[in-house]
A = this chain, B = another copy of it.
Amino acid sequence: MLDRQKVTIQDIADKANVSPSTVSRVLSGNARVVESKQTAVLEAIRELNYRPNIFARGLASGQSMTIGVLTQNISSPIYDAIMWGILQNLKGSGYSPVFADGYWSQEAEKNALHILLDRHADGLIVIGGSSPKEVLIETAKRVPLVVVGREIPEISENCLKMDDFQGGYLATQHLIERGHRQIVNITGILSHDDAVERLEGYKKALKEAGLAVDDQLIVEGGFNEQSGVMAINILMERGRAFSAIFAANDQMAFGARLALYRKGIRVPDDVSIIGYDNQPTSAYMTPPLTTIDQPAVELGEAASFNILQLIKGQAIEKTTFPAKIVMRESVSRLR
């Protein structure tokens, strides 16, 4: 194997007895090259183990052949699924992903956006995050952009979102159907749109069933386990009776389940729980957690499909991604 750094397009040209232009043409494939030279070039490339210099390419062509992906806190399983979907669809497109992480901090996110832009990403996928929408709207003017998990009216066509409202509705409805009447909702952070929508879905299901929405049964959580624990404590203090809990994500469901365990309240015998997200661990909670599954992989696939379309200047499709319920063992029928 020869030095990867040193072999240039000129070397290939020499070896194949053609000009650099011709080599470039077989590399990019957007101009005809006579068969014999084509193979000679390919042969030379393989023999010398040539890899094009990405900087020279970027500089000359103005394209980076990368898609910037702005993520938040990569560790969340749901984001991971989205990323997986994105990667799947990017394969073989010629584009490769470049990541930058916002870590849910506006400062870091701004920084990450700059990094991506500086790297001349040909397209941008922004997953969630807390960037002011003005920033995103501005960004969308400069570069093809797909926003995942947020809905921004001004650039609605660029946004891809799960149906959180429907998910909240579904979860609550399931509980009602199982005979529950006093249903707690541990919400997400209510400054996040998705959290609000899940809450709205919850309310709708209640109303539709002729049940009153009782503020005393609603507690705002923080999308993490600890806030699930706290929510139960708050609920106990309030003293309002309840037989089921809808937590706006699985992590809070976990916390709630633990808090219940601590108080000697059995799940699902005494209290039922339904979560949201269907993260991998949830299937192994004790008892396995009934939850709402989001088509995260599909969402990711759609995101990269769309960004590719956008780059090509073609039309994009705005699909909706319906949530569905995954029944396991944390919900019982109330008699």
Which A residues are closer than 8 A to B by beta carbons? 1, 4, 51, 53-59, 64, 73-77, 79-80, 83, 87, 96, 98-99, 101, 114-115, 117-120, 138, 142, 225, 228-229, 251, 254-255, 257-258, 261, 280-281, 283-288
Contacts and interface: CB of A to CB of B under 8 A. Distances in A.
Nearest to A84: B103
A74 B78 CA distance: 12
B77 A251 contact: no
Given A96-B115, A254-B281, A257-B284, 16 more contacts: A4-B117, A53-B120, A54-B118, A54-B119, A55-B58, A55-B59, A74-B75, A74-B80, A74-B83, A98-B98, A225-B280, A229-B284, A251-B281, A255-B284, A258-B284, A281-B281
Contact of A59 (B59, B74, B87): B59
Given A87-B101, A118-B54, A254 B74 contact: no
Copy number in this complex?
2
Given A77-B75, A83-B74, A98-B98, A120 B54 contact: yes
A77 B83 CA distance: 16
Contacts of A117: 4, 51
Contacts of A83: 74
Nearest to A259: B284
Contacts of A120: 53-55
Contact of A225 (B59, B73, B283): B283
Contacts of A225: 280-281, 283-284
Nearest to A71: B74
Nearest to A59: B55
A199 B253 CA distance: 33
A320 to B, nearest CB: 25
A164 B75 CA distance: 22
A228 to B, nearest CB: 8
Contacts of A1: 138
6 contacts: A54-B118, A225-B283, A254-B284, A255-B284, A258-B285, A261-B287
Contacts of A280: 225
A317 B177 CA distance: 62
Contacts of A251: 281, 284
A59 B120 CA distance: 15
A56 B118 CA distance: 12
A120 B58 CA distance: 13
Nearest to A98: B98
A193 B221 CA distance: 40
A153 B256 CA distance: 47
A313 to B, nearest CB: 18
